[in-house]
Amino acid sequence: MQTINILVATTSGNTEYLADQLANELQQAGFTTTMHYEPDYSDLMESLTDNSIWLCCVASHGAGDYADSMLDFAEELHTHKPNLSTLKYGVIAVGDSCYDTFCSAGRDCDAMLAILGAKRLITHLEIDMSQDDPDEKSSTWLQSFIKSL
């Protein structure tokens, strides 16, 4: 079965918890998952194959920045602009709608991966931590993600 690399951008741990729940659901569906709680640019670039799949769980922090755990990785992507034409991906953006930068890091991640040639499997999901049930909303989205593989 396919391996799905789950890249996590979190500061408070909520997005890490969400990513762990998604990993469990993917494993129950027969997929292998590899967690990247602090994604390493070099490691992920070296491991890219024609079958690579990333599920990016990205929390926005501060003024719409990437959460600390993924900040270096995002900067490397923006700087090096690698060819990601063999990559398939999905993005879950996490934020709080009381801020005008709601989900901006996740939106940026989605846009950057597409610009670099990666194939978006499904429209990104936006989770509002102040209003949504993250587990329920992401679980529903994940079923569509799985069908797109």
Per-residue model confidence as pLDDT tens digits over 113-143: 999 999 999 999 999 999 999 999 999 999 9
User: Using 50, 70 and 90 to split pLDDT, how confident is the model at 61?
Assistant: confident
Of 63, 41, 58, which Cα lies nearest the Cα of 93? 58
pLDDT at 75: 97
Per DSSP, helices labelled H in 1-149 are 14-28, 41-46, 68-80, 104-115, 134-148
Q: Which H or E run contains 97?
A: none
Record the pTM: 0.97
**CA dist 2 → 5, 49, 55, 113 (Å):** 10, 12, 13, 20
47: nearest Cα among 16, 7, 20, 75? 7
